[in-house]
Amino acid sequence: MILSANGIEVKIETLGKNINISASAEFDRKSLSGQTSSSAVSAKGNKPKKVSVSMVIDTRKAENLTKLMEIAEALDEKNNPIIYTVADPLCQAMNIRQVIFNNSVNSKKDGTLEVYNVNFSLQESNSVAEKKEEREKEKAVLEIPQIDGEVRVGSVDHAKIVKAAEL
């Protein structure tokens, strides 16, 4: 697994060993059956996918745990978590392209081996489903009849609003 952002590239495999990666996708569905045997459901949207990583880091290479913590804690100029582009076969298969560190980074020194057992989770950011919803909202707004002199942006994206205001 490779995480990259802002010219920084970190190969997780260089930080530790025995790396296990799993991914999950959550679908928010609500049953519409009430008190009947109906199987009808209401789709409430797809939630961001999650990637879980577990590994061991040699205690003699504690700087690797420090490096992992640095990338996990990194913030952009607006104090938002850094969004990393992820390169990993499992993530690619699950259509996960960008992630942020989510929840926690857990580490525990093994009582018998000289290693830290480390696990962390990543959450999908700017998901394909999210981008699709954004395009659909923009299209819907643009289909509304325009009033003279009115500029339709069709987005809540700050950069798009600023760009439209400049026109």
What does the domain layout of the chain look like in residue ranges? 1-31+41-125, 127-167
Angle (CA) 90 6 20, round 5°: 25
pLDDT of residue 111: 83
Query: Is it the case that residue 105 has pLDDT exceeding 90?
Result: yes
Pair 1, 53: CB distance under 8 Å: yes
Distance CA 3, CA 7 (A): 10
Is residue 33's pLDDT more than 80?
Answer: no
Q: Which CATH number fits domain 1-31+41-125: 2.130.10, 2.40.30, 1.10.3470, 2.60.40?
A: 2.40.30
Rounded CA separation 65/69 (Å): 6
Write out pLDDT tens, residues 132-148.
666 666 666 666 666 66
Give the predicted TM-score (pTM) of the model: 0.70
- CB within 8 A of 21, min separation 6: which ones? 1, 51, 52, 53, 88, 90, 91
- Separation of alpha carbons 123 and 100, rounded Å: 5
What is the rounded average pLDDT of the residues 100-125?
93
